[in-house]
Structures are given as structure tokens and as C-alpha cells.
Amino acid sequence: MKPQKTQAQAQQRVAVTGGWRFNPTWDISTSYSDVQYIPGVGSKFSDTAIFNIVGGVLHWKASPVWDLAGGYSYTWASKANGIANAAQYHQFSLAQFYALSKRTGIYLIEAYQRANGKMLGTSGAGNMITATASIGDGMNGAPSSSPSQLAGAIGVVHRF
């Protein structure tokens, strides 16, 4: 719902995270956040929009050179300017890291997102459109033209 973010007078964000390390090779982390976009005088929406996000990541240090992780997050609009079937997003992610040395490694990341429900279009209040998937943010990718999106990345990490 990027149009709401750019037209908001204020944002309020609250997040709680936690994790548990089972042993040196397995750990899990979880998070919950509540993000509120508060309309201003020039906003194209009329009511505070509230998005809730819950997620978890399971991490496995398979060997001294392999680090693997899998995650899931669920985002839903709990208050969405009168939209009865408000947007919901399911995202699954995988990550692999291979250490070439103590300071250098190669990583792969894959993600799939599925959007459901409705959201406000760029015209604002009264302009409801089908929610579309959008992995990452405006700096890291473009939204899909459909309810589903698949993304991947490969890169090299070097620590100085």
C-alpha cells in the first residue's frame, strides 16, 4: 500500500522480536509488528490504516561452511479504510550462505509472495483494487502485476 505511506501525515511502528538457540547448529527467531499510517490533510485515504506482520525464521548451521535458513511471514491489514476483504500477504523465503574463507562468502536468497484481498488504489478512498505481491521495498524491487511474485538474488559478501 505504498500510496498510503507517501500520503500519511505520520507513521507509528511497534515491533517485538525474540529468538531461541537450541544448540550451536539450530536456532529460531520470531517477530511481530504493528504499523499504522495516519492520514493527513492531503491524504488520499480517510482513516488510519493498520498493518500487522508476524513471522519466523529457522536457521541451521549445517557445517563450518554452510549456513541455511527458511522463513515465513504473514501480513494483514487489520484496519483498511472500510475495505471488507483487506489485503493479506503470505511470504516464504529461503537463504543459503557458503563461506569461501573466514571473510568471504557467496549467498543465494529466494522468496515467494502471494497476495489476497483488496487495497486502496492510487486514487485513494473509494478506489479499491486487487492486492498485488511486492517482495522487498521500492529500493530492492518492483511490485508484481499479479497476486504472486517470485524473486531471487545471488551475491558475494566480503568483510573488511
Q: Which residue has the higher pLDDT, 30 or 125?
A: 30
- 126 Cα distance to chain centroid: 26
Please tell me the pTM assigned to this model. Answer: 0.81
Average pLDDT, the chain: 86
Q: Which residue has the higher pLDDT, 80 or 68?
A: 68
Asked whether residue 87 carries a pLDDT value surpassing 80, the answer given is yes
SS3 label, residue 122:
coil
Report the pLDDT value the prediction gives residue 2, as an integer from 0 to 100.
41
Please give the C-alpha separations between residue 94 and each of 57, 62, 82, 109, 150, in angstroms, as whole numbers.
Answer: 9, 14, 35, 6, 12
Report the pLDDT value the prediction gives residue 140, as an integer from 0 to 100.
60
Q: What DSSP element (H or E) covers 2? A: helix 2-7
Strands 104-116 and 66-80: unpaired
- Scan for cell 483494487, then name that residue: 129
pLDDT tens sequence across 125-147:
666 778 888 887 655 667 788 88
Report the pLDDT value the prediction gives residue 113, as an integer from 0 to 100.
94
Report the pLDDT value the prediction gives residue 156, as an integer from 0 to 100.
97
